[in-house]
Amino acid sequence: MTLRENAMDTVSATLTEEDAVESLEGKNVVSIDGEGSQISLRESLAAVRNSAQAAARIQAAFRVQSFCQRELTRYTEIEDDMMLPNLRRKIHRTRHFNDSLHAAAIRIQQKYRGWKCRKEFLKFRNRIVKIQAHVRGHQVRKQYKKVVWSVSIVEKAILRWRRKGSGLRGFRVEKATDGAVKDVEKTDEYEFLRLGRKQKVAGIEKALARVKSMVRYPDARDQYMRLVASSNKSKLLVAKSSDQLHNSK
């Protein structure tokens, strides 16, 4: 702006000087020549003055325009220099933000994949456990059927032996020839039941006598306590082993 003001001041100064020169020349012309030469001289001086004013104004305008252009380029360079660090910081922030978003997306994908794999693994394991449980149940039922069958065979063998029969493989239904034989077999069967009851009663009485004798003697009481402790210990061991087997399944 100072350069523009200086240029305008120079233009006005030149114009005032030209006006002063023109006035002086006009006075001289009036004093020397007549009116005709004075008019022509005035016209020529006016043309010169107009051309000088136009040249001065054009030069001043060019100077102002060049000054404005230089100032504009300088201001743009300064603004570019000032904006460049801000742009760099913004670019760095956006890159850092994008990197953090990318890392967060990777972590989310990892968590989701891990959760999905664990879910599929648990589903597969539950199916395997169910299959194993079915297989073990089938094996246990099969073994139980074998045990029941063997127990029934032994029971039948004992009953046939008690009845004085001919065994299981050669077992044939004998035709009843006489009613007395049936009565004898029935009495024999009931006799077997009565004998079993008598044996049970005798065993109970014997155990009661042992308990009574244990109460009388301290050695017997100590022995009884040792037996109770050992039985409790064995029960605990059996319970622990069953729990371990259950947990392993």
| pLDDT tens profile 169-181 | 444 444 444 454 4
Q: Are 213 and 220 in contact (CB under 8 A)?
A: yes
CA distance 127 to 132: 9
| pLDDT tens profile 26-45 | 544 444 445 667 777 777 77
Environment class of 176 (CB within 10 Å of its CB; exposed 0-12, middle 13-18, buried 19+):
exposed
Tell me what pLDDT residue 203 has: 81
Tell me what pLDDT residue 54 has: 82
Tell me what pLDDT residue 130 has: 93
Q: Is the pLDDT of residue 55 over 80?
A: yes
Length of the chain: 249
Of 26-35, 60-69, 218-227, the least confident: 26-35
1 membership: H or E segment, kind and range = none
Map tokens 């244990």 to a residue: 214
Q: Quote the percentage of the chain above a pLDDT of 70.
A: 71
Instruction: Report the predicted TM-score, pTM, of the whole model to 2 decimal places.
Output: 0.29
**Mean pLDDT of all residues belonging to the chain:** 74
Q: Are 211 and 217 in contact (CB under 8 A)?
A: no
Query: Which residue ranges make up each domain of the chain?
Result: 2-88, 184-216, 218-249
Q: Is the pLDDT of residue 56 over 80?
A: yes
Of 22-26, 86-90, 239-243, the least confident: 22-26
CA distance 33 to 41: 10
Q: Is the pLDDT of residue 248 over 80?
A: no
| pLDDT tens profile 97-150 | 788 888 889 999 999 999 999 999 999 999 999 999 999 999 999 888 888 888
* DSSP for 154-203, written as a single string: HHHHHHHHHTT---STT--PPP---HHHHHHHHHHHHHHHHHHHHHHHHH
217 membership: H or E segment, kind and range = none
Highest mean pLDDT range out of 16-30, 68-82, 130-144? Answer: 130-144
Q: Is the pLDDT of residue 161 over 60?
A: yes
Q: Compute the average pLDDT of residues 219-224.
A: 76
| pLDDT tens profile 170-215 | 444 444 444 544 554 555 556 767 777 788 888 888 877 777 777 7
